[in-house]
Structure 1
């Protein structure tokens, strides 16, 4: 049986909503204005019908100022009656407690989604204030991991549970990368709060999430492995790729510092590199050994390109070492060695040949002694050698006394 509107000067269309009743509701207006059928079970909850017959669930409530406000829940053919009634009750409860759900909905409609925030953050902060290598890492983390998972959400809707779920998912296969993603999300939301892209007082969704434990890598090129590596590098066709890898091994520079090196940073007369900006946020002077000088002197120069290691695009520097490195380490049978391990090789070789930790830290331009401390274990061999020599001197000075037998004659 179809519901009927009650008679009277002002027509009131009211009936108890069921799935069948909502389906049967018909437009019975003047052909110009929308009409609304009301649910007798939940006051303020209705179905609004246009002259063309489109139906939407709606709620009518009074805001704190006493003004009647409409809140549209959504199309009848896309939302179940159960969910619509539940949402209607939430809206009415919010209004009863002094809220204005329709106004809040309008505000959210104009709010950034996460994918928009990512683009703003990259353009206004990352690409402006971070070094190219760091900016590239942020871009990779946010565009390939965060946007696919959270991009469609509005920024104020992202919860700690959302970020923790993403962190846990990534951590199942790559815990260190999961931590890097968490750090990137954390920085982005801190920036969003600072620049007003989140409502005042919004919680920070990345705070309080425990990072995965990271085990420090202890992989570096051993002396017996270097001939294989040298042969594999020599087979790489790109002279600039070969040169960049050898310069890392000669100096311990970071990958980004080498790829972005300009000829204006190179002083071959003084055998020095002058890096104006580094990861440690300070200028860094790098002395060049004779092999490093010979390497740089032998590199071809590309007219009009200011970089020591030019890339494929005109006027640009080398952009990709990961691809060539994957081929090289495979040829060398060193597939567990990462590109950053070349820098670690420099510190390790220096440590095993007696260089002090402060000296290694200065060479590698570490910000804190704790970063250099990873090489402390490797420095034990020179200590052992020094004590061996000292023991021989003690025995020589004892002139035949049986010190090794406790001094008994």
Structure 2
């Protein structure tokens, strides 16, 4: 060992393998002589039980004295518990690196759906736009630019996965907001590790979100109930899919909570569902009488544990979206998603005067803020109190007009009761959604036989825009028995006149 100087470093040589010369004044400071003749200064130190080396720089670019000064600084950090090698590696981390770490570490305890969504945001949007950017150099303006690009559709693409399968990646403002949220969560790791003093995605102003709070009105519930019964009566939809729709609106559950429901989770004694897992963890869903009767009416498929079995062995109903689109179209429900059935359940409770904590408990909300969206509906007790007080005062003031109680019309439209009667309870399970679904439905052939006509006659009626009222369920046309009776008793256009109407139609056109 000797004090490293320019003469000593340049005189050193290596044969067969690299050689190391160590300074006798500063422990851990040395020079590495490669067999190629290249020389570089370095430090060597221990972290725990590991020996680590960090290169300072090449001889020629660094002199022995400048390298000695840098070695003192680095070894001083080591003495204070720092690791220069680790610091260098961490400083070279990119946004892609920190996102990958977030998927494995930050989401270690997250649910499968959350991991899948975060991975999609990272792979489809964040990495293509910011993946190569160093975490330490990422700015808020770059995050803002990423959000604008995603909203503009710059990351949208269509990939063919197979002969009949494609993957569509869409942009838009909602996707841009979700990508920023994912990036912000990943950058939190960088802040925790001391790579950054702050999170540049935290204060990015995102696009205003659209709060979709669509609630079904009593009239819409009646129409939906009629369509569900018609679809079930003529067999145009999977009966378990129809039962899924009914359960969603009778319980307020999320879609997958009902579709994945197993019979062993149903506690009939305590009238509830005991879900081992959900979006907010394990929870208990209390069931009303109509929901209990619906559950009891569903036939079990041997060997299948699910309440709503699918076509495959041991599977459950999955593709409910297509069924819902057909049903909602037939019921003339505009802009109603499956999730809006959950909102409708909650809004009914709010309108009936149930408190927000009770509604939150029924829906399984983890945060009271989530239930606040129904606060504007929960004013029934206030309206009722205002009505009672004002009526009492007006009575003292003698300013209320006399009203014939028999002639008075109700001030509010009431929803048809879904509670079963005593006779219905004795007759066994009757999964219903209001009185409307007890309507008798007939397909075109049965309706023609009921009227004493032919199927062609009914088709001509529809073509001419006349005839009894009908409903379309998918591609099937159905008639309610009530509408057929009204048509028959009203003495409408007789069957014998239909050919004349058809000839007149062609004559006019």
TM value normalised by structure 2: 0.49
**Deviation (angstroms), 1:266:** 1.0
Residues 308-342 of structure 1: CA distance to partner in whole angstroms, max 9, x if unpaired? 34456654555444444344434433341223221
**Deviation (angstroms), 1:241:** 2.9
**Deviation (angstroms), 1:137:** 3.6
Q: Which moved more, 1:163-172 or 1:245-254?
A: 163-172
**SS at 2:274's partner residue?**
strand
> After superposition, where does 1:95-106 map in structure 2 within 5 Å?
none
Q: Which moved more, 1:245-254 or 1:116-125?
A: 116-125
What's the RMSD between the two structures over aligned residues?
4.2
**Deviation (angstroms), 1:301:** 3.3
**Deviation (angstroms), 1:130:** 2.4
Kindly indicate whether the alpha-carbon contact (under 8 Å) linking 1:352 and 1:382 is maintained by their aligned counterparts in 2.
Answer: no
d(CA) in 1 for partners of 2:140, 2:350: 43
**SS at 1:274's partner residue?**
strand
Kindly indicate whether the alpha-carbon contact (under 8 Å) linking 1:156 and 1:202 is maintained by their aligned counterparts in 2.
Answer: no
Confirm whether residue 165 of structure 1 aligns to residue 145 of structure 2.
yes
**SS at 1:361's partner residue?**
helix
**From 174, 177, 180, the counterpart of 1:179:** 177
Q: Which moved more, 1:145-154 or 1:296-305?
A: 145-154
**Deviation (angstroms), 1:252:** 1.1
**Deviation (angstroms), 1:268:** 1.9
Aligned residues: 307
**Deviation (angstroms), 1:389:** 3.8
**SS at 2:185's partner residue?**
helix
**SS at 2:250's partner residue?**
helix
Confirm whether residue 402 of structure 1 aligns to residue 398 of structure 2.
yes
Q: Which residue of 1 aligns with 2:428?
A: none
Confirm whether residue 287 of structure 1 aligns to residue 286 of structure 2.
yes
**Deviation (angstroms), 1:265:** 1.8
Q: Which residue of 2 aligns with 1:346?
A: 345
**Deviation (angstroms), 1:352:** 1.3
d(CA) in 1 for partners of 2:138, 2:312: 39
**SS at 2:306's partner residue?**
coil
Change (3 A) 1:394 1:363: same
Residues 278-310 of structure 1: CA distance to partner in whole angstroms, max 9, x if unpaired? 4344x4222211211122223343444433344
Residues 336-371 of structure 1: CA distance to partner in whole angstroms, max 9, x if unpaired? 122322111111111112212222122122233332
Kindly indicate whether the alpha-carbon contact (under 8 Å) linking 1:309 and 1:318 is maintained by their aligned counterparts in 2.
Answer: yes
d(CA) in 2 for partners of 1:266, 1:202: 50
Q: Which residue of 2 aligns with 1:79?
A: none
Change (3 A) 1:66 1:162: closer
Q: Which runs of 5+ in 2 are unaligned?
A: 1-39, 43-54, 62-72, 74-84, 153-170, 402-509
Q: Which residue of 2 aligns with 1:370?
A: 369
Q: Which residue of 2 aligns with 1:211?
A: 206
Q: Which residue of 2 aligns with 1:325?
A: 324
Change (3 A) 1:227 1:286: same
d(CA) in 1 for partners of 2:105, 2:295: 36
Q: Which residue of 2 aligns with 1:130?
A: 110
Q: Which residue of 2 aligns with 1:228?
A: 223
> After superposition, where does 1:240-251 map in structure 2 within 5 Å?
240-251=240-251
Q: Which moved more, 1:149-158 or 1:342-351?
A: 149-158
Change (3 A) 1:191 1:231: farther
**SS at 1:129's partner residue?**
coil
Q: Which runs of 5+ in 1 are unaligned?
A: 1-60, 71-97
Q: Which residue of 2 aligns with 1:67?
A: 58
Q: Which residue of 2 aligns with 1:255?
A: 255
Change (3 A) 1:201 1:192: closer
d(CA) in 1 for partners of 2:176, 2:217: 30
Q: Which residue of 2 aligns with 1:190?
A: 188
d(CA) in 2 for partners of 1:145, 1:233: 41
**SS at 2:307's partner residue?**
coil
User: Higher relative contact order by CA 8 Å / sep ≥ 6: 1 or 2?
Assistant: 2
d(CA) in 1 for partners of 2:260, 2:60: 59
d(CA) in 1 for partners of 2:278, 2:207: 27
Q: Which has the larger radius of gyration?
A: 2
TM value normalised by structure 1: 0.60
